[in-house]
Structures are given as structure tokens and as C-alpha cells.
Structure 1
Amino acid sequence: MKKIMCSALTVFLVGSCGDKKESVKQEEIVITPNELHGAIDKVTEIMIHDIFSPPVASRIFAYPNIAAYEIIALESDNYLSLAGQVTDLTAIPKPEKDKPINYQLAALVAHMELSKQLIFSEQKMEKYRDSLYTIWEGKNPLLFNSSKDYGLTVADHISEWMGKDNYAQTRTMPKFTVNTDDPTRWQPTPPAYMEGIEPHWSKIRPFLIDSAEQFKPVPPPPFSMEKGSNFYKELKEVYDISKKIEKEGDSSEEIQIAQFWDCNPYVSVTRGHLMFATKKITPGAHWIGIVKIASRKTNSDFDKTVYAYTKTSMAIADAFISCWDEKYRSNLIRPETLINQNIDEDWKPVLQTPPFPEYTSGHSVVSGAASVALTDIFGDGFAFDDDTEVAYGLPVRSFDSFEEAADEAAISRMYGGIHYRAAVEVGVKQGRDLGEYIMNKVKMTPSPSMASNQD
């Protein structure tokens, strides 16, 4: 059995002057899942404020979770290290033998430190961190400081590995060039006409998939504006659904689904000469919110909560790498552009079109992958009430399984007028295939035979 840290105890410290001894009570420091949920909620809040793109947001979630998980795995018999499983990840340093360590505290310290490195508004993260530090240090200075130091040591180790994932290099690569001569290619869309974001995301080092193109989907239907072609039928389907929604108004089930799963951090609002952004969570952040819901419903302890966040965030991160690889390969034009050019020049989608190519649907791929990870962790037929969007003025939606939620998230993109059917259906399959591969590849809990050997 690995070392388990002590609970409340009383120690005697020798004063610096003479033989006088001072009795100092060292209280137990208990780290609960609520502190971890709070840290991740704070990161999400900051990412909304700083307006990170969906792919970048997935990276911000993944690395801190892995750092926390590796510390938990080092101390626990219930979890296995990701070193040697995740690309290029090596074993974290072990703590000094003579130092008392609260591993849950160290894990949260590492998580917050890496989160702080990955966002812009560092002071917001520091404020949350310092509020916890004050409580912990007041209870047990010796245990707090040694655990904090160890957490920071692990954060440095993960940070060094993180720095080699090609993210910094992609910041200096050329911007995406729009091909205005090809009617099949993506064009920037109103109202902001933003340039394509993260065109080089496929060059980011994956966590568990072999390469960005490993789950390359089938191509989209051949482009054709002939009315009998499959492509035109899908375009017209998007338009017809939007007209149906328009007639039904806000009572439409389709519009409620579309709005619930919008998750577009780039929504721009134009009023007269003014343009401003309404800030929302990303698709990955919505699924991270579902991890919290499932963890709380099952009363998962701190270690299992870290495990759930880590496994799901790695699936989400690799799903974005896979999806963005296809987006900038097929570089397909969005429905909004074609409908305005060929069917109705005044038409607007229910949701604002995000600034990147159409195929495949990012939310569909990510939802497929995340739902597989969550099913692997919490089981089939896991019913839950999704209140993730309540903070953004939307009501709770209920689901009988993670798979059902993923299917709804995928079809929401067509209801919203921003994707064709193929991007949705192929996208969710792409995500599920990727998710199944990851769940079969990564080993984070010991097999029954391993567990018996440890006993």
C-alpha cells in the first residue's frame, strides 16, 4: 500500500532560543472535490473573459488536469500513471522522503499553477488560489508548504513537456489564406467577417491518438448547386429548417436545442456603428461542465473527480486536433454564404456562424468523443440534468445518457443553420470512433489481477 498522509496531529517544535519548546497544533487539511470544481469553474470563467478559441480552450483544460492526475496516481493504488501512455510524457518527480505531503493539496496546487500559465488574466486565477492558500497555511503551515512546493515541482515538469507540443510554433505560422476564386471554399461570414482561426491546429502534438489524420473522415458530399445533387439537398434542408423555426418562434424545440448548445465564444453583436461580443463557453467547456454534474451526482471523491476530468479533457483535446485537421483540408463553404448567394440574400442562421470552415462539425466531433469518455467512466444510461447553460440565461435540459446528449449537441448545429447534415452525422461518428480508440488505448485504472497483486 502506498504512503497515506496523516490526519490531525500535534507536533512540538523546538524554539531557536535555548531549550524552550512550543506546542503548535497542526490541523488536518482536507481537500474536497469542491475546491477542484471551483478551480475549473474559475478557469472557465477566465477563458470566457479572455475569449479563447475552442481548440485553445481544450488545451487549457487538458494540461492542468493531467498534472493533478499524475500526482494522485503516484499516491493512490486505484489509478495508473499516464507516463509512457500519453505522447512524450515522462514520470513526474517523486517528493522528498522526509517531507510530509498531502497529495490532493499538491495536485490542486499543480492544477492552479498550470492553469495560471495558460490563461491571460493571471491575477484572477491568483486571487482564487491565494484564498485557498490562506486557509490551508492557517491550518498546517508545515504540511501546506511542503505540499505546495511539491505541487509546483510537478507543475514545472508538466510545463516543460507542455512547451514542446508545437503550440508556440503555431503562433508564428501564416494566417489562413481565403480562396475567393473557388466557390466551394470557406469564406468569412457576417457580421464580423473574422479570418479563419487556428488553421495550423493539426500540428499540435496529440495526447493519445497517433496523429491528427488518424481519424480522417470520409469527404463531404461533392459540391454541386444542381438541385438534384446531394449537396444542394443538404443546403436546402438547412434553409427549410430555419424557415420552419422562424414560423414557430421561440417555442420551437429546434431553436431551444440550437441555443442550448451554441457555445460560440465569438458571437458579435452589431448595433448601429457599434460592434461588441457576447461571451459564452466553448463546446469543450460545456462537456467539462457535464463532468462536474456527473461527478457530483455520483458523490465521486477527489481522486475520481480528477480522473474523470483528465480522461474527458484528453478526449476533447484530441477531438479538436482531429476535427481541425479535416476542417482546413476540406475547407468547405458554410451554408450562410451559399444561401445568401443563391437562395435568399437576407437569410440569417439561428446561430451566428463561427469563423472557420464547415466540415466536419466541431461540436459534433467533440461531443461524440466526450460522451464516449464519460460513458466509460460513469456507465451506460447515465441520466442527468444539464444545468451548464443556466449561467447564460438558458434552462436546464435533461438527458437519459451521455450519448443522447451528444446526439442532440450534434444536430443542434444543423438546427442553428451553421452546418449541413453530413458534417453533423459524420462528425459525431468521427468523435465516437476517436473516443473509443482512446478509451481502449489508455489504462488509468488497474485490472483486477493488478489490483490483487498490489494487495
Structure 2
Amino acid sequence: MKKIFVLLALVIVAASCKKSNPDFQKEASNPRFLERAQNMLTESIIHDIFAPPVSSRIYMYSSVAGYEAAILGDPKFKSLVGQLNGFESVAKPEPGLEYCFPLASTRAFLSVGKKLTFAQELYVEFDKQIEEDFRKTGMPDDVYERSVALGDSIAASVMRWAAKDNYKQTRGFRFTVTNLPGTWTPTPPAYMDAVEPYWNKVRPVMLDSASQFRAPAPSKFDLTKGSPYYKEVMDSYETVKNLTNDQRDIANFWDCNPFKMNITGHAMFATKKMSPGGHWLGIVAQISRQYKKSYAETAEALALTSIAIFDGFISCWDEKYRSIRIRPETVINASIDKTWIPVLQTPPFPEYTSGHSTISRAAAEVLTKVYGDNVAFNDSTEVPYGLPPRKFTSFIQASDEASISRLYGGIHFRPALDEGAKQGSKVGQYLLSTVKTRK
């Protein structure tokens, strides 16, 4: 009997030794874990059809949660607590205990993402697989459980912060169309209500206010031939009429329309894609992989870029519902050519300034600072939607192309692109001057 007990003890010890892996921290620090979480969140956002500003909010809070957990194991990084508006505290690990901070980070990121989205069933198999992959690193059970608990606590801290951003107070409000000359009205084919007309009431993350970088007023609505406005209208009209194949490809690549309504005969059906913010955060993941950045460095880039995009949308939307600018499709069909159709489907909100131009430049400013200027990359973000990758020599070049794509697509006038890019540049530069992630 004694021999049996000894044998059992040896088997238990052997099994436990086999399970333990002294290098589990290194294996668990693979930034692919965070990239997979980011991709999963994008899939959920697409499924739920969140508008671009709302998507940016989901990405931002998730990314900040992931960042706060990721940096706990690297003393060169600095917490965002006290640097972001209203972000006053975050959960901390217990001293003297071992944690796997990449696991805590992935958990925090996903926990926030799931709380801010609806399609919980999408996460079931993903959660099982990522848990299994973390356990395959040979992480001790106590470290695993402790790290998961820490991630959930950090997520709870971020959700308490999110609860005070005035988002809930802006739900349910609709925009009243005035029908005044030159102002926005719903556009074909679905004639949807205006999206997020009170987004400027949502708390910015690092801007002083939604109007901090207010764009100049657009040109006066005046269809007299030779007027500045008439020239803008004809520029959009002629550009689409004479579009080259490459320009059409650019328009489609940067479409990023979360909800496109298709009409075939009497049938209507929708197609869904990632938002502009999702596209740029996809670029972050690609560049991080390309340059072999660490887990914490990847989390840093996602957090900073998502903050720039979020505040970029707030700044842009503040102007949209101040100027309430009419879309090219509406004015051209009414006054120039009733048969003219834009390449892209006109999104359901006012024209000035361009949201994609604003957030693309804000993101590009941040990424240029994080990764450097003249960083060449292939953007394969749109491959899942049947579009080939596009090559860029810098983030600024990519943001310029994203901006001009809106003119090629027929959904903006040129000043909305130029002023949107200026607006986004100011947002990005302000973020870089006020928020510090390195000690």
C-alpha cells in the first residue's frame, strides 16, 4: 500500500512538472493575442452595425483597458490615469504575487468590448479558444486565475469611467430636418435619419471640448455660376463623371461603410463592413506585426490611435451638426443633373467636415510618432471584403488617400476633405503633446 501511495505521489509530481513551463511568460507575451482580440471586437462591431462614432467609443475604451493591464510588467510605460478626462483610477495587482499581464490585458480588452457590444454569442467559441491557447503556454493555474481576475477588475474600472461620458444621455434623440436651402436632408436609397446628431455632447477623452479645434465655416450656399460654392459642386460632379479606374479603386478601398443598403428591383438587402476607425486600428495590428513590436508596444499604439480617432469623431461631428451641410448627391440631383449617382453610397449625416479625413489624419499623426515617418506598408485590411491590398510609403500618404477617396466617391466636396484633415492633424498633435505613455 505504501508503494502505491509513493507511486501516485510521483505521478502527480511528474504531471505537475510536465504542465509547468518556466518560459510561459514569454510565450504568453505574444502580441498576436491582443491582435486576435482586436479582430474579434471588430467582427462584433460589424455584426451589431454600430455607427462610426459609436464604434470609435467601443474601440477606445477597450484599448485603454488593454493598455492599462499590458504596461504593468514594463516600468518604462506610464498609466493614462490622471491624463484622460475623468479617468481617475484603475485596479492594480496585489504586491508580491505573480501575474501574466498580457493575459490580464487581453481579458480586460475583451471584457470591455463585450460589455459595449450586443452579440455575446459571437464570443463563445473565441473565448474558449483563447483561454486554451493561454493555458497551452504552461501557465500555472493560480497565475492564470489571478491574471483573469485582474483583467476583469481593470475592465470594471474602465467601465465606471465610461459610464460618466454622457453617452447614455444622448440616446434616443433625433435630428429635425429643416429643409432650409443648402442644409442636409436624408439621402437615397434608404433615406435614413441623421446619425448621432448629439455626439458633440459626449465627453472627449483628451480634448478640452468638442469645439476646441473648430473648422472654419464652409462657403455660402450659392448656386450662381462662378461662386465658390458652385465651383465646389461642379468639382465633385465632374470628378465622378470622369473617374479613372485607379480613382474608383481608391474610393472603394476606403469606403468603410458599416451599413450599405442595396436595392435590386423590389428587393432591399444590406451589406456590412468595418468602420473607418476599425480600418485604421487594423493597420496598427499589421504594422505591429511587421515591425515585431512587443505586446505592451502594440497595446500602446492601439490605445493612442483609438483615442485620436475617438476625439477626432467628436471634433468632426461638432462641426457637422453646426453647419448641417447638404451632400453632393442632393444638390447635384436637384440643380445640376438628376441622373448623377455617386460611386459610394452617401452616409446618413451632414457633409462638412469629412469624418474619414479627420480621423485618418488624427490616426496618421499618432502612428507617425509611434512608428516613425516614411514607414512603408501594405494595407490588407480590406482583403476580407474582396479588395486587394494597397501600398503606402507613410501613414500620412495613406491618410491623404483616405481623404481624397471621399471626393472620388462623390460623397463630399473638396473643402470638407481639406478642413477635415487640418482638424484631424490638430487633434493628433494635441494628443501627442498632452498624453504621455512613456516615463
Q: TM-score, normalised by structure 2?
A: 0.93
The question of whether the paired residues in 1 share the 8 Å contact of 2:70 and 2:295 is answered with no
- How big is the shift at 1:56? 0.6
Does the alignment pair 1:320 with 2:281?
no
List per-residue Cα deviations over 1:74-124 (Å, max 9, x = no partner). 331121010110111123222223532111111111111111111111121
Counterpart-to-counterpart distance in 2, 1:164 and 1:62: 15
Match of residue 130, structure 1, among 110, 124, 128: 128
Q: Which runs of 5 or more structure 2 residues have no equivalent in the other structure?
A: none
Match of 2:426 in 1: 433
Structure 2 matches for 1:235-254, cutoff 5 A? 235-245=233-243, 248=244, 252-254=245-247
Alignment partner of 2:268: what SS?
strand
Counterpart-to-counterpart distance in 1, 2:238 and 2:363: 30
Match of residue 40, structure 1, among 38, 41, 52: 38
What code does the residue aligned with 2:317 have?
A: W
Match of 1:142 in 2: 142
The question of whether the paired residues in 2 share the 8 Å contact of 1:189 and 1:337 is answered with yes
What code does the residue aligned with 1:403 have?
A: I
Moved more, 400-409 or 129-138: 129-138
Counterpart-to-counterpart distance in 2, 1:20 and 1:412: 67
Counterpart-to-counterpart distance in 2, 1:21 and 1:417: 71
Match of 1:341 in 2: 334
Regions of 4+ moved over 6 Å: none
What code does the residue aligned with 1:192 have?
A: A
- How big is the shift at 1:310? 0.6
Residues 262 and 275 of structure 1, relative CA distance in 2, 3 Å threshold: same
List per-residue Cα deviations over 1:168-204 (Å, max 9, x = no partner). 11113x2011112x12110100000001010011111
Match of 2:119 in 1: 121
The question of whether the paired residues in 2 share the 8 Å contact of 1:112 and 1:125 is answered with no
Does the alignment pair 1:407 with 2:406?
no
Alignment partner of 2:226: what SS?
coil
- How big is the shift at 1:128? 1.1
List per-residue Cα deviations over 1:303-342 (Å, max 9, x = no partner). 1000111110100000001001110110010000000001
Structure 2 matches for 1:213-292, cutoff 5 A? 213-245=211-243, 248=244, 252-292=245-285
The question of whether the paired residues in 2 share the 8 Å contact of 1:33 and 1:301 is answered with yes
Match of residue 60, structure 1, among 58, 61, 68: 58
Root-mean-square deviation (CA, aligned residues, Å) is 1.6
Q: Which runs of 5 or more structure 1 residues have no equivalent in the other structure?
A: 1-14, 447-455
Counterpart-to-counterpart distance in 1, 2:63 and 2:32: 15
Counterpart-to-counterpart distance in 2, 1:303 and 1:73: 6
Q: TM-score, normalised by structure 1?
A: 0.90
Match of 1:156 in 2: 156
Match of 2:378 in 1: 385
- How big is the shift at 1:125? 2.1
Match of 1:168 in 2: 168
Moved more, 126-135 or 354-363: 126-135
Alignment partner of 1:277: what SS?
strand
Counterpart-to-counterpart distance in 2, 1:202 and 1:189: 23
Counterpart-to-counterpart distance in 2, 1:76 and 1:88: 25
Structure 2 matches for 1:13-24, cutoff 5 A? 22-23=12-13, 24=16
The question of whether the paired residues in 1 share the 8 Å contact of 2:181 and 2:221 is answered with no
Alignment partner of 1:58: what SS?
helix
Counterpart-to-counterpart distance in 2, 1:126 and 1:319: 33
Give the fraction of aligned pairs with identical amino acids, expressed as a percent. Answer: 45
The question of whether the paired residues in 2 share the 8 Å contact of 1:137 and 1:145 is answered with no
Give the total of aligned pairs: 422
List per-residue Cα deviations over 1:407-455 (Å, max 9, x = no partner). 1110110111000010001111110111111111111112xxxxxxxxx
Counterpart-to-counterpart distance in 1, 2:112 and 2:125: 15
Counterpart-to-counterpart distance in 2, 1:220 and 1:266: 27
Alignment partner of 1:352: what SS?
coil
What code does the residue aligned with 2:405 have?
A: S
Match of 2:81 in 1: 83
Counterpart-to-counterpart distance in 2, 1:235 and 1:365: 21
What code does the residue aligned with 1:353 have?
A: T
What code does the residue aligned with 1:160 have?
A: R
List per-residue Cα deviations over 1:252-294 (Å, max 9, x = no partner). 2211111111111121101122111111111111111110121
Match of 2:182 in 1: 184
Alignment partner of 1:308: what SS?
helix
The question of whether the paired residues in 1 share the 8 Å contact of 2:67 and 2:300 is answered with yes
List per-residue Cα deviations over 1:342-376 (Å, max 9, x = no partner). 11111110111000000000000001100000001
- How big is the shift at 1:130? 2.2
- How big is the shift at 1:127? 2.4
